Chains A and B, each alone.
Chain A
Amino acid sequence: MKAIHRSVMDKTKRLLFGFGGEGAAFKIVVYFLLSLLGFIYLYPLFFMVTYSFMKTEDLINPLVTYIPTGFFMDNFARATEVMDYLKTLRENVMVSFLPAVLQTLSAAVIGYGFARFRIPGKPILFALVLATFIIPPQITMIPQFLMFKDLGLIGSIFSYLIPAAFGQGLKSGLFILIFYQFFKTIPKALEEAAQIDGAGAYRIFLRICVPMATPAFIISFLFSMVWYWNETLLAALYLGDSLSTLPLELQNFAATYEKLFPVDPNAQTGRSLNEAISMAGTFLNIIPLLVVYFFTQRWFVESIERSGITGE
């Protein structure tokens, strides 16, 4: 009887705690921790979404904390008007898509050059590539701004495109490093075989290495696009008044709102800017990014393993 009892105990113990700490109890604890963290991660977004549907009365009503009394779409209508949404969205796509394409292409070419060829002084040059990642843009942006101003490129997308094409765009050093690591992992024998068959360096690059580096292209392009999308410091300086981005519009949200809907002292409070409208603006701001992330999240979360940036 006692023996049976013990064996049952043992079995439960093994089920719960397992051999290597992979038992059910351990897993439940990990699940709990992961869910708790997930909640904290998403809380600000949850807050933003619920607030964006609230009426002014909901905001004041102490009984309404999270769930709004109804879907109040007027906040979104307002926010859309304030940010000139569709026009800004179009411009934002343009100033993040095009630089991302150019930056990815230039990083691929440069990364391949560094990964494959013996060039005198290469260690120093490559150290400088990494240094460009450390140098804060604040320190180079004033002379760059003056340069573009002399060339008449302020307020034009070319002030974004030209540095990107020369491998000096937003965090270019990092993308060059990604391609460098990626091309290093392609076996050299493959290229040598092509060389014996009479293919030149450029043909080998275009026909053999570029197709094999598709993951690196996708990863670089996605990160590059998202970072250009979210950039505000350089955007405010280089794009001037002629091009705008959603984050820039959000930055000036309160000021624009006051201009569009001046507060009428005789009217009710309903028209003035409140949290709900700001949150609707913020929500509208990140919706495009959420859509992109929804379709490409696999590429984002697997990027670091695939890019081999952690070293083999």
Chain B
Amino acid sequence: MKIGYRLREALTGLSFIWIWIVGFLVFTCYPLIRTLIFSFSEVKITADGIKTTYVGWQNYRRALFLDVNFGDTVIGYFVETLVLVPIIVVFALIVSLLLNVKLPGKGLFRTIYFLPVIITSGPVIQQLIDKGAVSLPGIQEIIETSQLQDSMPGVLADLITFLLTSFITIFWFSGVQMLIFLAGLQKLDASIYEAASIDGASKWESFWKLTLPSLQAMILVNVVYTVIMQSVFALNPVIVLIQKALFDPAQGLGYSAAMAWIYFLVMLVLLLVLLLATRQRKSTR
């Protein structure tokens, strides 16, 4: 009798999710496998369909060792994202702390800060960058980027220049993360803070000892979210390369597929590195 009930429940559940299982197999699983096969093949599009010939690791070797452009772009993406993600998450946290102060009219600020999430598309950002709308006037004068290049090692100078010129990425891509933090902050119990302050804890101490630990889960969520958003954004240079290779007969579908797989693996490594770094900080504190 009990088994019969369980079976019925499972079948009812399946009647709700079968649509996802079918969709996953057809539109995600099968394409993933097919891309994997493509990446090990030379793909020719002929009149009677797709012809693939197995070529082993050739596409991967080409992407990793021969195509300087792809290698550099992927390394650039890796370093940039590794730097940008913590900055975006910390920035979102600071803004959410500011927004959490009880002030009249803070709803307006929240609305303004979230606006970019709605209007951000690749071409819009591209237009704004091209026309100089994203560099604040005067920022170039305050910090001579050329002087930075002389006084600092190349990588560091590049990084600082990159941050100064890409502040819009930090600001405009932190809207969702900011709201996630804000939702977390609003769930915190005020009485804990009262108790801590009676025990003599300063604001600063209670931030590190109370607020931050209770936001741990949200920090993880935000790190994952930020990495994904940065990785699938239309202006990401790696994506541009993959897209270009797709329609370039000299490079071909197989090569494009290999690049996509390498990119996916690099992204996973990046996620892992950032997640481990986030967790480590918790255990040491």
A: residues with CB less than 8 A from B are: 20-22, 26-27, 30-31, 33-34, 37-38, 40-44, 47-48, 51, 106, 109-110, 112-114, 116-120, 122, 125, 128-129, 132-144, 146-147, 162-163, 165-168, 176, 201, 205, 226, 229-233, 247-248, 250-251, 253, 275, 278-279, 281-282, 285-286, 289-290, 292-293, 297, 300-301, 303-305, 309-311
Minimum CB–CB distance from A123 to chain B (whole Å) comes to 13
Q: Which residues of B contact A309 (CB under 8 A)?
A: 180, 221
Assess A43 versus B136: contact at CB under 8 Å? Given A146-B50, A230-B120, A305-B183: yes
The residue of chain A having its C-beta at the shortest distance from the C-beta of B190 within the complex is: A20
Assess A119 versus B31: contact at CB under 8 Å? Given A253-B127, A278-B131, A285-B124: no
Q: Is the CB of A140 within 8 A of B197?
A: no
Assess A30 versus B234: contact at CB under 8 Å? Given A37-B113, A41-B116, A142-B257: no
Kindly state whether residue B250 has any CB partner on chain A within 8 Å: no
Minimum CB–CB distance from B228 to chain A (whole Å) comes to 6
Give the contact stretch, choosing among B150-158, B261-269, B276-284: B261-269
Kindly state whether residue B111 has any CB partner on chain A within 8 Å: yes
Q: Which residues of B contact A33 (CB under 8 A)?
A: 98
Minimum CB–CB distance from A89 to chain B (whole Å) comes to 14
Minimum CB–CB distance from A148 to chain B (whole Å) comes to 10
Q: Is the CB of A279 within 8 A of B10?
A: no
Q: Is the CB of B101 within 8 A of A22?
A: yes
Q: Is the CB of A110 within 8 A of B243?
A: no
Chain B's interface: helix, strand, loop or mixed, by majority?
helix
B: residues with CB less than 8 A from A are: 6, 9-10, 12-17, 19-24, 26-28, 30-32, 34-35, 38, 50, 95, 98-99, 101-103, 106-107, 109-124, 126-128, 130-134, 136, 167-168, 171-172, 176, 179-180, 182-184, 186-187, 193, 197, 203, 217-218, 221, 224, 228, 231-232, 234, 239, 242-243, 246, 253, 256-257, 260-261, 263-264, 267-268, 271
Q: Is the CB of A30 within 8 A of B103?
A: yes
Q: Which residues of B contact A147 (CB under 8 A)?
A: 31
Minimum CB–CB distance from A250 to chain B (whole Å) comes to 4
Assess A138 versus B120: contact at CB under 8 Å? Given A301-B111, A310-B184: no
